[in-house]
Amino acid sequence: MDFVANLSPLALAYVGDAVYELLVRAHLVGRGPAKPEQLHREALKYVRATAQARVVPALEEYLTPAEKDILRRGRNARPGHLPRTAAPAEYHSSTALESLLGYLYLQGDWARVEELAHLIFKLAEQND
């Protein structure tokens, strides 16, 4: 899809945020029964900008050159505001990750999205 390559990194991150949230929820539910409030607390361990930023450096070695370029563009994007809950560098790294997931999803490469999600979860659990 040619239009995907022309989207801004922030538009890609907007989609990637939703994709990542769904992946995290499916991952957590797949572990077995849990109460919604417990699932929510567990999800925060993955979706916070600080948590996403921690996995990006290790993830980069598994990316293709094109994926690294999307990650770089996402990291360099400048949103209108920064959250108080994360340092600017962490927020930019999390935006980069979301941009990558949004890009792959919009390209229709769900297999690669799932492959990276499994790797992200593994890296995140190693950081815990």
Q: Which residues are catalytic?
A: 17
Q: Which residues of 80-108 are buried (b: 16+ CB within 10 A; e: fewer)?
A: eeeeeebeeebbbbbbbbbbbbbbbbbee
Using CA atoms of 56, 31, 15, 105 in order, give the dihedral in degrees to the nearest 10. Answer: 80
The DSSP code for 4 is H
